[in-house]
Amino acid sequence: MAQRFELLTTPIIGLSLLQRRPLADARGYFQRLFCAEELVEFGWTQGVAQVNHTQTLEKGSVRGLHLQLPPHAEMKLITCLQGAVWDVAVDLRKDSPTFLQWHAEVLSAENKRSFLIPQGFAHGFQTLTDHVEMLYCHSHAYQPTAEMGLNVFDERLAIGWPLPVTAMSDKDRQWLLLDDDFEGVSV
């Protein structure tokens, strides 16, 4: 069986970028978005408990930065189905050598890449185009009591958003800044 994914490494251990390999012919193409059997070698070790689809209408919009705390910590496989985003993952793993470091990648319908985000990372994105659609596979179902978020404007993180922020939810705008006592999350 041909591999439908190629691993592209990132500077943060455990955070992976996957290049999807579609099968194409004169009709168009077929591409695999998720396969537990193939993704296990890239670090996906759990089943899919929830699949979410988002649509964001306006270029410059930001969603995130979100994560679920243990015991509901989740892995995420993030795919852009339409348009393009600047997708960000922030390492919040306690005792990680890359604690509080972030890495971003452009995900788009055209480049056919997905972000494989392990437990202990916050995730968010900024739309680079209008009319963006994203697909998220989660290893755990959403639990409101386990939700945590980071303020996207936190100077301690110093995320260099590529565009001015045009839209954001009130909830995301109100996440607190990290204080010096924040030691990370255990996964």
Q: Is 66 a catalytic residue?
A: yes
Q: Is 29 a catalytic residue?
A: no
CA gap 77, 140 in Å, rounded: 12
Cβ burial of 127 (10 Å; 0-12, 13-18, 19+) is: buried
CA gap 98, 91 in Å, rounded: 6
Contact 68, 140 (CB under 8 A): yes
The H or E element that residue 36 is part of is helix 36-39
| Catalytic-labelled residue, pool 103, 136, 138, 140 | 136
Which candidate, 114, 128, 7, places its Cα nearest to that of 62? Answer: 128
CA gap 170, 187 in Å, rounded: 28
CA gap 25, 177 in Å, rounded: 49
21-41 burial: b if 16+ Cβ within 10 Å, else e: eeeeeeeeeeeebbeeebbee
| Catalytic-labelled residue, pool 66, 123, 138, 140 | 66
Active site residues: 66, 136
